[in-house]
Structure 1
Amino acid sequence: MHASEGPRPWYRQFWPWFLMALPACAVVASLWTVYIAHRDADDLVVDDYYKDGLAINRQLEKRDYAERAGIAARVRVDGDDILVTVSGPVRAQQLALYLSHPIESDRDIRVTLQRASRDSFRARLPAPPAPRWHWVLDAGPDSRWRLDGSLSDANFSDVRRP
């Protein structure tokens, strides 16, 4: 530095920028954390408990009806196919199967099963489920019966799983 030059302005110094960078990194990290929390929010909170309570009562009535009528089902995943074997008085040509992921509702699967034989229904799955997924089976929205359960390792005929 020459004697005729004075001190450099603050914005040309290292230390002010370094000291401002530390809080700026904290602000960026907190904004990123808020983004991640919003994007991957849990789907476990229900807004209207009363409506859900009424729906649960209807579901229990449908399940009781299936038990009294002797309707039972066995769900089996075979690669990309799903096979449902039913017993009891099921006359429908199609059944609705809903596979729900235990935590992430965006991974839920809804398929329409077509009758494959007298007591079995089959459909192709868009994505493979895994054990501990829940399933709900009925003959459609106006069905008088409903069955539900969860997939276990015994429900899979091959070992290719996510």
Structure 2
Amino acid sequence: MTEENEVIAPWYKQPWLWFILTPLIAVFIYGFSFLYLSIVTMDGVVKDDYYRIARGYEVKSEKNQRALDQNIEAQVKLDTITGDVMVSLSGNLNPAPASLTLDIVHPTHQKYDQAITLKAVGAQNLYTGS
């Protein structure tokens, strides 16, 4: 058999061509699929007491300052078995509230936020909820 009788396959049947083009094609497919996902999906909203003012941030701390002025402190205990939350308040509570709302806020995804209503139990400023 000589080289003159040998038939050369067309360009699309050459194995080295596909060896080089396969990673490039995969990069384009993954790149466009990630671009599509980044355009279609929504980013989570960060929820906190921060408001953008010009180029800086201002923390609104009136609630915290009012609690400090009245010497209000809270101890939070979580029962991992039952999932109950117990809050014990101390300080100048005149009158003590009948219920509290505990907001558990995820820093980046609003869908993970939770609001738990805590009811007063007894007269020792103890609140519980689940």
Task: Establish whether TM, by shorter chain, passes 0.5.
Answer: yes
Cα distance in 2 for partners of 1:111, 1:29 equals 42
Q: TM-score, normalised by structure 2?
A: 0.64
Which amino acid is 2:13 matched to?
Answer: R
> Deviation of residue 96 (structure 1)?
1.2
For 2:53, what is the secondary structure of its paired residue?
helix
For 2:118, what is the secondary structure of its paired residue?
strand
Q: Percent identity?
A: 22
Larger Rg over CA atoms: 2
> Deviation of residue 43 (structure 1)?
6.5
Give the total of aligned pairs: 116
Which residue is 1:82 aligned to? 85
Which residue is 2:102 aligned to? 97
1:49 lines up with 2:26 in the alignment: no
For 1:16, what is the secondary structure of its paired residue?
helix
Q: TM-score, normalised by structure 1?
A: 0.53
Which residue is 1:117 aligned to? 122
Unpaired segments ≥5 residues, structure 1: 125-162
The root-mean-square deviation of aligned C-alpha atoms, in Å, is 3.8
Which residue is 1:17 aligned to? 18
Unpaired segments ≥5 residues, structure 2: none
For 1:91, what is the secondary structure of its paired residue?
coil
